[in-house]
Structure 1
Amino acid sequence: MDSDRSERTHTQDTAGQRTDGGRADPATEAFVAHRNLLFTVAYEMLGSAADAEDVLQETWLRWADVDLGTVRDPRAYLVRITTRQTLTRLRTLGRRKESYVGTWLPEPLLTAPDVAEDVELADSVSMAMLMVMETLTPSERAVFVLRDVFAFDYDEIADAVGKSPAAVRQIAHRARSHVAARRPRGAVSATETREALDAFRRAVATGDVQGLLDILAPDAVLLGDGGGVKQAILRPVVGAGKVARLLIGGLSRVTGLSLRTAQVNARPALVIRVDDEIETVMAVRIDDGLITGLYAVRNPEKLSHMQQETTLRR
């Protein structure tokens, strides 16, 4: 982990090189200008901020060797490099997930309020949508993200994923249908999410089982991710009654506990602290006014991006 962090820091330092005139060189300027976009592309496909940062490192190394005189559109070119590196990373991530202890959940991000103002972007980076993305193949993820979230044309996407425009259109149609069948039913505003989460928080904090049952859908599912480092449920818990009893029974025994809301992945989520240290980030999925999914991330390696806001851009 320390070597990875130092490499990422080195990449950021390298990308800050300046010419003798005091300005960054053209390659650096272009990379820095689009860095938040590139991170967002990689993160949406990977569900991992750490892996997205590694992808950006690889993107920079390749971009630094490009003859800029041959580049018509730096944004499209950089996205193409990032997409190819992300597809390679997805294969590695897939192997890691096979040996992962318990359920693998996306890495939560503390996001700035302005991310929620872009409704489409906010929806695409929500934990619920990232879980839907997990059900797509790597190619489907890339095509869906580039087309439906970032509005790249089919020719540009074809260059990025190494397929023909006709094949990309077919993949886009298949991915769109797949996502539509699994995404939350109907748009949910931040206000609705916050109200449901506040009711959930009050019920858990006071041990109000009935209050919790009132906000949970009958078929609510709780998923936990401890990564084999922190204690967490290893299999999904299904059913409002089981979820309510597990949460209230487990949290009632913890001393020094605090439950606060925060903007996580552009949606209100619950941050659970013990003695002021983040122990769990719990995001929710809401359908028809009720909580249908609870995603409890406890793996400490996935909580580092909860210390400061991450900027996401389209």
Structure 2
Amino acid sequence: AKEQELSRLQKAPGQASETDADNKPVDLQANAMKELRQQIQQKVRDSAKKVKKSRHFMPAMAGITVLLVFMFLQYNRIIFGAVAAYTTPGAIDPQNIIVDASTDVAVSPEPRMIIPKINIDAPVVYGAASDTQSQNAAMRNGIAHFSIPGANAVPGQVGNAIFAAHSSNDAFAAGDYKFIFAQNEKLVKGDIIYMNYQSKRYTYKVTSTEVVMPTEVSKVQIKTSKPMLTLISCVPLGTAEKRLLVFAEQISPDPNGTQLSDNANSGNSKSSASAAIPGKPSPTLLERLFGAS
């Protein structure tokens, strides 16, 4: 019996080792499968995150792009107006630069306005009606002269001659003079304005400036015994919120003895009552697309 028990004990370790050896390959295979499964799951999670990010990123970028395009189409005049305020609006012909304002100069029949301080030398369009469509049509070709009751003079006549032009306008609008009055805010008392009209040059000196609402038409309907002019432009730049008025009086030729303004002989037969001061910019591209006036 002792010999049998001893024999059994001697065989037991061997049997245990054989069992462990048999189980070890099974454990290694299980661990490998577990690791592979974890790797696959991690890759699936990573891929899902990328897809999720992409699904949100692309629409977000598309939305931002559309917003930027919309803002540019609607508000580009603010950007370009600000740029134009710090750049030269035009080139002055050297023959138009005069030291003595009282000097009599022979000029061509083409109507023009010259403002040396802000480097303006541009054509003037006479005969425009005061409605918005006519205003914009005239201002596409230069500085527009308007005739309204109480402000229907032309250069050389007693009364107020009013001239309007764009300080800024939509980048997609027609015309070469979209920013011609962008620097009008720099004009101060004492600055000189030249008007070429009917082959004669008239010299004006700025007397004051004022910012008013577009509906304050009475601000340009001035009862005066002097020949004067008023420049009209929109402010702040890029908007039509208000109007900047620059008032100037004739100093040459001698203003004494000039004739009274008369709408019948002023060269403008389209005078009519106006509900707003002329000079409103043309609609933006979006406003035109969606029917705004």
What's the TM-score once normalised by structure 2's chain length? 0.26
Which structure shows the higher strand fraction?
2
Larger CA Rg, structure 1 vs 2:
2
What's the TM-score once normalised by structure 1's chain length? 0.25
Which structure shows the higher helix fraction?
1
